[in-house]
Amino acid sequence: MDPTLAQQLMKRCPRPSITDPIAPLDVDTPNRLDNKYYLNLRNNRGLFNLRSDAMEQSFNG
């Protein structure tokens, strides 16, 4: 992960936290539908949320 992005996320989501903080998956254009999210992922500047229950379902049929 990009070190600058990691620092920004650590400030936004401190540990320990009473609440579950929300961070946008697309850090550059969170309110726009574009391909910037995928470009950021390729450059280590994004979050990829993978639900464990979806993974279990795909593996278990």
The pLDDT tens digits of the residues spanning 10-42 come to 888 877 777 777 788 888 898 999 999 999 989
Number of domains in the chain: 1
Q: Provide the domain limits for residue 44.
A: 3-60
Residue 54 pLDDT level (bands cut at 50, 70, 90): low
Cβ proximity of 37 and 46 under 8 Å: yes
> Cα–Cα distance between 18 and 2 in angstroms, integer?
26
Cβ proximity of 30 and 24 under 8 Å: yes
pLDDT at 60 over 70: no
Cβ proximity of 36 and 26 under 8 Å: yes
pTM for the whole thing? 0.60
Q: What is the pLDDT at residue 55?
A: 52
Comparison of pLDDT for 54 and 24, the residue scoring more: 24
